[in-house]
Each structure stands twice: as C-alpha cells, then as structure tokens.
C-alpha cells in the first residue's frame, strides 16, 4: 500500500504547534522585502504621441487593380523596435542598445493612427530625451523602410503616368475613339492621385502629435505584490523549519529507550 496522506486535522495541529515560528518567519519575510522595496531606485517615464500618415503597402502601377491596403499599426510598432530606431535612441541617451530596447514601450489607442512611444529611465531628463528620439526616429524609419515611399517605387509610378500621358496624346492627335480617351484619362487620374499621396507621405511620414514632457514624479510602483510575496515566502520557510523539527522529534522518540523497549517498560512497572 502507498503512503497514507495526512488528514486535515494534522495540518491544524501543525499550525498550532508552530504558530510562533510561522508568525516570526512571515514577519521576517515581510520585513526583508519591505527593506528591499525601499531601496529600489525610482524610475521615470516620458511618452511621445506620433500621428502616422496613411501609407500604402506597395506602389501599384495598375490603376484598375485593387487599391493597396495601408500599412498597419503593427508594422509601425515593429519599426519602433527596429535596429535604426534603437540605435538612434541609444545615441540620444548614452546607453547600450540592449537596455534601450528593454526601456521602450509601444501602445496604440484603438481606431486611431497614433502610436504612443514611452521610454523609462532613472532620471526625468533621460526619459524625455529617449521618448523624443524614439518619436523622431520612427518618422525617419517610415520614410526609409516603407516600400511604397522608396524613390524606386515612386519612379515606377512616374514612368507609368508618363507612358499613359504619351499614349493619350497620341490618341488625341489621331482622333481615336472617345471611349479610349476617357479610359486613359481615368487611369492617369488614379495614378496621379496615388503619386500625390506618396509625395505627401514621403514629405511628412508622420508628425509628433504630443511631445513628451519632463516627468515630475516617479513611476508608481506596485508594492503590494513584493510585500505579499515576501510574507508568503517567509511563511513557507517557517513550514519547512517546522516540518524538520517534527521529523527530528519523531526520530528522538523512536530512538528513546522508553519507546523502543515496551516489554522492558511493562516489566519494570509490574508489581514485585
């Protein structure tokens, strides 16, 4: 048969036997984590809000095809954590790239094209400098890395518009059918609109909607979690010490002469 598990009453008796020990260990754990939490240096967080202009995922030269979808907010969030953005922030705050990447946080309010970029540092000035550099670097990264804003992609559209314009002039000079001229004019109009949008997006891929301010107060800390954890760890340690004490006590009882020789105890207690 397997080892029999202790009954519920055993736990109650254990707590009563070691109540003082458990209380002392819990208080010791609470006190140690309180001291540790008090020594944790404060941190400051500054946030930059960047409004991102819509940019298509590619520069399509076929005006009759499906209109390209805009770059998603998730793609822009990845640009915040790109190597170029991390390097720019690292230069601005004078820290290594690993610590900069760990200090950057990105969030996006729903149904908006706004990215909120937060940077956390040990002092307010560094936090603000990091948030400013991250916002500016994101705007530059959009211009540099989004495919539709690349000069080669815009050049393709320009060439297609020029080709259609030449064809349209030739049709007009040859008095081609009116339907063909209307079709070409519509195609040229669609491509020109796409070019205009790309010109505007490349000139201003985004803008800082709200510049980060200098944090006036440190970040709030959730002190309840470490304090509670410290008390629970102390209580767990007390349970372990109590269990060790009980095991030693049982071994002493098992090895004592009065318990190991019951016949001798009975014989000695019998009347002469």
Contact predicate 50/114, CB 8 Å: yes
Q: Looking at the domain assignment, is residue 245 inside a domain? A: no
Q: What is the CATH number of the domain that holds 117?
A: 3.30.1890
Domain with 192, as residue range(s), is 44-210
d(CA 204, CA 52): 9
Find the helix or strand (DSSP H, E) in which 210 lies.
Answer: strand 206-210
Each residue's pLDDT expressed in tens, for the chain with a length of 272 residues: 445 555 667 777 777 777 888 788 888 877 777 676 666 678 899 999 999 888 876 666 666 666 667 778 888 888 899 888 999 999 999 999 998 999 999 998 888 889 999 999 989 999 999 999 999 999 988 888 876 677 777 788 788 888 888 877 776 555 555 667 777 777 788 788 778 877 877 888 888 889 898 888 887 766 566 667 777 888 888 788 878 887 888 787 877 765 555 454 444 444 43
Provide the 10 A C-beta neighbour count for residue 48.
24
Q: Looking at the domain assignment, is residue 180 inside a domain? A: yes
Render pLDDT for 225-265 as a digit per residue (tens, 0 to 9): 666 777 788 888 878 887 888 788 878 787 776 555 545 44
Apex 86 CA angle, 85 and 91, nearest 5: 100
Render pLDDT for 140-168 as a digit per residue (tens, 0 to 9): 888 888 766 777 777 887 888 888 888 77
Q: Looking at the domain assignment, is residue 238 inside a domain? A: no
Question: What's the structural domain count of the chain?
Answer: 1
Q: Looking at the domain assignment, is residue 100 inside a domain? A: yes
d(CA 65, CA 68): 9
Length of the chain: 272
Which CB contacts under 8 angstroms, 24+ apart, belong to 214-218?
Answer: 214/46, 214/124, 214/125, 214/128, 215/44, 215/45, 215/46, 215/124, 215/127, 215/128, 216/124, 218/42, 218/43, 218/44
């Amino acid at each position: 048969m397997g080892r029999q598990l202790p009954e519920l009453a055993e736990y109650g008796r254990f707590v009563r036997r070691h109540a003082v020990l458990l209380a002392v260990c819990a208080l010791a754990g609470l006190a140690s984590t309180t001291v540790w939490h008090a020594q944790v240096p404060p941190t400051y967080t500054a946030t930059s809000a960047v409004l991102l202009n819509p940019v298509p995922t590619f520069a399509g030269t076929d005006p009759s095809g499906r209109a390209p979808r805009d770059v998603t907010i998730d793609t822009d969030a990845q640009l915040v954590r790109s190597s170029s953005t991390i390097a720019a922030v690292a230069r601005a705050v004078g820290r290594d790239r690993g610590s900069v990447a760990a200090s950057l946080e990105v969030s996006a309010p729903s149904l908006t094209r706004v990215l909120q970029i937060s940077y956390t540092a040990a002092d307010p000035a560094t936090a603000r400098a990091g948030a400013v550099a991250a916002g500016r670097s994101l705007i530059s990264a959009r211009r540099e890395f989004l495919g539709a804003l690349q000069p080669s992609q815009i050049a393709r559209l320009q060439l297609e518009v020029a080709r259609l314009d030449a064809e349209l002039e030739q049709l007009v000079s040859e008095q081609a059918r009116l339907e063909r001229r209307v079709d070409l004019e519509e195609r040229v109009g669609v491509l020109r609109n796409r070019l205009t949008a790309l010109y505007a997006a490349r000139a201003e891929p985004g803008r800082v909607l709200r510049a980060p301010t200098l944090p006036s107060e440190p970040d709030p800390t959730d002190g309840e979690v470490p304090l509670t954890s410290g008390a629970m760890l102390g209580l767990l340690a007390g349970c372990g010490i109590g269990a060790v004490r009980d095991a030693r006590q049982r071994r002493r009882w098992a090895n004592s002469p009065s318990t190991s020789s019951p016949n001798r105890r009975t014989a000695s207690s019998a009347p002469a």
